Amino acid sequence: MEEFIAALPKAELHVHHVGSASVAAVARLAERHPDSPVPVDPDELAKYFTFTDFAHFIDVYLSVVDLLRTPEDIWTLTHEVGRDLAAQNVRYAELTMTPYSSIVRGIAAEAYLESIEDARRTIERDFGVTLQWIFDIPGESKLPSADITLDVALRLQPEALVGFGLGGPEIGVPRRQFADHFAKARAAGLRSVPHAGESTGPESIIEALDHLGAERIGHGIAAAQDPVLMERLAAEQIVLEVCPTSNVRTRSVPSLADHPLATLVAAGVPVTINSDDPPMFGTTLNREYEIAAQMLNLDESGVVDLALAAVDASFAPDDLKANLRAEVAGHR
């Protein structure tokens, strides 16, 4: 199964830009910026990426964000992420970007966008991976970050921007406070893809649906606690972007054995499999497919169905989606 999954063309819908920085890339950036608390030694860095809870994960994540101080840093990281995706036979990815985090650290919005757009074009040329962007509000920075994220999205309109999201901590960050921002983003044609139900209960998913017009939900695993909500997700075909290892590493679930993926699938909730912040969690998209196949007792045909679900739930252009769907189905 491992070789089959590695050879399978894939789409990834929930993977964070900074969270995809390889251990080697983070170590190089830490060496470049010695005032950072991030370790330079790869072994120490692996220990640094051991999280006590979700709040600790956010603290560590932001310390890595602090290493990205120039447009060149942004370009290099983006290009490396594209290379790593290509190595796993990912053909298409919707990369979650948090422009606010770079803008408040002194990188002009225009320079940030120029870096990621140039890197995107180079990635497609060099590696054959098509990237599109989800611009994410960092929930820990509340409404000011939402204002800036929306402004950059609507005023500068980057070519590959397809979605508007909300990440960061959920505890103490009600989804509904961002309703106006999501309404304006949706009116401009952006798709609504907030995180919810990762580290909080089903109520955050309901808020994301009712107040943010969510078309997909980042994580959403708390839906398994609410049979009525699972019925709604199944009926409305709201896709959950499930990231099993992430949920264990951030202590959102105690172990893979306790993960509710099988419960969600049994209830008819549509899911995709994703890696979230793969180097930080010591995983890859291929490994997440292996884990999901074990959890769901899938054969190769079932794994193909998982890969097709990601293609179908994507916001890829129709021609790309059709071509990728045919390529994936050819592995059945």
Query: CA torsion 70→117→14→4, rounded to 10°?
Result: -110
Give the span between the Cα atoms of 159 and 157, in whole angstroms: 6
User: What stretches of the chain adopt beta strand conformation (E)?
Assistant: 10-16, 90-97, 130-138, 161-167, 191-192, 195-196, 216-219, 239-242, 271-273
pLDDT of residue 314: 98
pLDDT of residue 188: 98
Q: Helix, strand, or coil here: 93?
A: strand
286-316 pLDDT, tens digit each: 999 999 999 999 999 999 999 999 999 999 9
Q: How many CB atoms sit inside 10 A of residue 24's CB?
A: 12
pLDDT of residue 157: 96
113-127 pLDDT, tens digit each: 999 999 999 999 999
pLDDT of residue 332: 85
- Quote the DSSP letter at residue 273: E
Give the span between the Cα atoms of 41 and 314, in whole angstroms: 37
Residues 6+ apart with CB under 8 A from 171: 54, 55, 199, 200
Instruction: Pick the catalytic residue from 80, 198, 288, 290.
Output: 198
Mean pLDDT, to the nearest integer, of 48-54? 89
* 24 band by pLDDT with thresholds 50, 70 and 90: confident
Mean pLDDT, to the nearest integer, of 151-167? 97
Residue pair 9/307 in contact (Cβ under 8 Å)? The answer is yes
Q: What are the chain's domains? A: 2-329 (3.20.20.140)
Residue pair 228/264 in contact (Cβ under 8 Å)? The answer is no
Residue pair 112/147 in contact (Cβ under 8 Å)? The answer is no
Give the span between the Cα atoms of 285 and 66, in whole angstroms: 25
* 46 band by pLDDT with thresholds 50, 70 and 90: confident
pLDDT of residue 54: 85
* 42 band by pLDDT with thresholds 50, 70 and 90: confident
* 128 band by pLDDT with thresholds 50, 70 and 90: very high
Residues 6+ apart with CB under 8 A from 279: 19, 20, 21, 22, 23, 26, 49
What is the residue type of 232?
R
Q: Quick check: is 198 catalytic?
A: yes
pLDDT over 90 (residue 273): yes
* 4 band by pLDDT with thresholds 50, 70 and 90: very high
pTM for this predicted structure: 0.95
